[in-house]
Chains A and B, each alone.
Chain A
């Protein structure tokens, strides 16, 4: 044990996401780790940068009918429908439990109206263990059925209302969707509305047809693609947004399975990363990603994680 400590490379892995300072940059991704209890059967969740909760809603949600998930090459197509008991259960049970373990929580919030988003942010004011709020903008608006994330104006309105309702000490990140013509204007609208940072990406919209039933493979027809299949799309989004808004911290996710994947996100501009679908394959993935990322950064001569963020953007003459 002592040798392990002595041999552990000296590197500062502190991840700074606006006002949230996390001990390391590897988090879970919303909807892929529940609130940490199932994961805690396998790993010490207090060692994660933070546990990102499933998107919590004001009211209980049964979720979508089955089939909810179908497998695709290097990924999953899923339409789970954000099931959950609602904000009351999160406040009463999950957040106190995470706090008791010494774990940190990023609470993902989802609403059908701007008012619901703001209400959730207000309810989370002062809740234990909450390091950060992540706004899931990939929710259809009750008004016109369009995802908030697909319209810069709608996204900005949600961000502004959440930022106003949330605890001023809690950073608010907006989670962006790749299912837009240009992600940069949405990112800019969120930044202008007061987002302290951005998460990207949410799943990539897709459809799979079951060749046996000759019907859509998912009950909801449309699903979200996740897993390594989407990783270049995610890194592209991080790249574009970091180039446009270099001061805004980014929480990057999309198909991360190992330290090399995480490093790509960091170099493209992410200050921290979330591991999602890979958890379904191996619940030990995030801590392995963390160990691998540490070694990779040390090998490349970094003394601080923060120094590696966005390094892929440096001019070629500096290489």
Chain B
């Protein structure tokens, strides 16, 4: 794995894309190392900031060559003061980034049919993945979801690169009295997939895991969870995950993830320490 670097880079552009903000930063030492699924941790608030935790974003695109060589792009949703500050940073100002962080999506060497499921702006992580899959002669279908149509991210780009793009919103599912699992059932029944990749909230990923398991399709998920550091130091972003030895441990999403095999995550026990987790006994839950 490439070691992460800390890079203070010039912000080249900061523009609205639908409901989200697309940030482009010159960060050559960092951009060239990024692989799909990895993320950057960005300091917010400037030098006098009282905000300690960084904000973490999946990498949307890197440009190794051409006019924008050495740039990295990420997509953010303004949900609070930190992301609000980032959305207002002007071109020419500098951003303090750390990356690449986390584990990337694993790719097969064989050509296969992949279905990529993305929620809101978390879909950004899947677009560079689609490029990497295409380079391996894989076929790529997308399922893009959001509460409402205006919050779907990457539809045009997905349509340009994907064989089929399914858009599903909470509105549309409510109208059709469908769950996300049922939508995914339909997609997987229309064309069997060899692999599922998903990026989004834990709630959504849990449903993708159910669909993948029902259809016996291996599934990798990139989890979107709050992180204070992104570098593995704070241990704030843990999930119960089953290891190769069958033992459940509380793993850090930032360094042990953010990409996990969906069938390893204890989706029903995210809000607690599972009783059979390593070290549960000492917490009084064993």
Q: Residues of A at under 8 Å CB distance from B?
A: 32-34, 38-39, 41-42, 57, 59-69, 71, 73-76, 78, 80-81, 83-86, 219, 227-228, 277-284
Q: Does B160 sit at the interface, judged by CB under 8 A?
A: no
A34-B235, A67-B236, A78-B234 are known; give 11 further A-B pairs, CB within 8 A: A38-B231, A62-B249, A66-B225, A66-B271, A71-B51, A81-B283, A279-B229, A281-B52, A281-B53, A282-B6, A283-B233
Instruction: Determine whether the beta carbon of A59 is less than 8 Å from that of B235.
Output: no
Instruction: Determine whether the beta carbon of B282 is less than 8 Å from that of A69.
Output: no
Instruction: Determine whether the beta carbon of B52 is less than 8 Å from that of A75.
Output: yes
Residue in B43, B236, B250, B255 with the greatest tally of chain A CB atoms within 10 Å: B236
Q: Does B65 sit at the interface, judged by CB under 8 A?
A: no
**CB nearest to A65 among chain B residues:** B272
Q: Does B137 sit at the interface, judged by CB under 8 A?
A: no
A266–B147 alpha-carbon span in the complex (Å): 54
Contacts of B50 in A (CB 8 A): 73-74, 228
Instruction: Determine whether the beta carbon of B236 is less than 8 Å from that of A283.
Output: no
What's the least CB distance linking A79 to chain B, in Å? 10
Query: Given A41-B3, A42-B6, A282-B6, do A63 and B238 touch, yes or no (CB 8 Å)?
Result: yes
Q: Mark each residue of chain B from 222 to 252: 1 if its CB lies under 8 Å from any CB of chain A, else 0.
A: 0001101101111111110000000001100
Instruction: Determine whether the beta carbon of A71 is less than 8 Å from that of B52.
Output: yes
Query: Could you write out 10 A-B pairs with CB less than 8 Å apart?
Result: A62-B249, A62-B283, A63-B273, A80-B234, A83-B235, A84-B279, A85-B279, A86-B279, A280-B231, A284-B6
Contacts of B52 in A (CB 8 A): 71, 74-76, 227, 277-278, 280-281
A42–B232 alpha-carbon span in the complex (Å): 12
Contacts of B229 in A (CB 8 A): 279-281
Q: Does B138 sit at the interface, judged by CB under 8 A?
A: no
Query: Given A42-B6, A85-B278, A280-B53, do A65 and B231 touch, yes or no (CB 8 Å)?
Result: no
A82–B239 alpha-carbon span in the complex (Å): 15
Query: Given A32-B233, A280-B234, A283-B6, do A62 and B53 touch, yes or no (CB 8 Å)?
Result: no
Q: Contact partner of A83 among B53, B54, B250, B255, CB < 8 A?
A: B250
Q: Residues of B at under 8 Å CB distance from A?
A: 3-4, 6, 43, 50-54, 96, 98, 225-226, 228-229, 231-239, 249-250, 255, 270-273, 277-283, 285
Instruction: Determine whether the beta carbon of B54 is less than 8 Å from that of A32.
Output: no
A278–B53 alpha-carbon span in the complex (Å): 9
Residue in B50, B249, B279 with the greatest tally of chain A CB atoms within 10 Å: B279
Contacts of B54 in A (CB 8 A): 280-281
**CB nearest to A71 among chain B residues:** B53
Instruction: Determine whether the beta carbon of A60 is less than 8 Å from that of B236.
Output: no
**CB nearest to B269 among chain A residues:** A65
Contacts between the two chains (Cβ within 8 Å), count: 119
**CB nearest to B236 among chain A residues:** A69
Instruction: Determine whether the beta carbon of B233 is less than 8 Å from that of A39.
Output: yes
A86–B249 alpha-carbon span in the complex (Å): 13
Instruction: Determine whether the beta carbon of A69 is less than 8 Å from that of B234.
Output: yes
**CB nearest to A75 among chain B residues:** B52
Residue in B6, B50, B277, B282 with the greatest tally of chain A CB atoms within 10 Å: B282
**CB nearest to B44 among chain A residues:** A281
Contacts of A83 in B (CB 8 A): 235, 238, 250, 279
Contacts of B228 in A (CB 8 A): 69, 71, 76, 280
Contacts of B249 in A (CB 8 A): 62
Query: Given A83-B250, A278-B52, do A34 and B232 touch, yes or no (CB 8 Å)?
Result: yes
List the 9 closest A-B pairs by CB distance, nearest first.
A60-B279, A62-B279, A69-B236, A280-B229, A38-B232, A74-B50, A61-B279, A61-B282, A62-B273
A61–B229 alpha-carbon span in the complex (Å): 21
Contacts of A38 in B (CB 8 A): 231-233, 255
Query: Given A32-B233, A61-B282, do A42 and B43 touch, yes or no (CB 8 Å)?
Result: no
Contacts of B231 in A (CB 8 A): 38, 41-42, 280, 283
A133–B237 alpha-carbon span in the complex (Å): 28
Instruction: Determine whether the beta carbon of B233 is less than 8 Å from that of A34.
Output: yes
Contacts of A227 in B (CB 8 A): 52
**CB nearest to A40 among chain B residues:** B3
Q: Contact partner of B282 among A41, A60, A280, CB < 8 A?
A: A60
A281–B273 alpha-carbon span in the complex (Å): 27
A76–B234 alpha-carbon span in the complex (Å): 11
**CB nearest to B226 among chain A residues:** A67
A296–B66 alpha-carbon span in the complex (Å): 45
What's the least CB distance linking A192 to chain B, in Å? 31
Instruction: Determine whether the beta carbon of B277 is less than 8 Å from that of A62.
Output: yes
Instruction: Determine whether the beta carbon of B280 is less than 8 Å from that of A62.
Output: yes
A76–B228 alpha-carbon span in the complex (Å): 9
Contacts of B233 in A (CB 8 A): 32-34, 38-39, 279-280, 283
Q: Contact partner of A65 among B96, B225, B271, CB < 8 A?
A: B271
Instruction: Determine whether the beta carbon of B226 is less than 8 Å from that of A63.
Output: no
Contacts of A42 in B (CB 8 A): 4, 6, 231
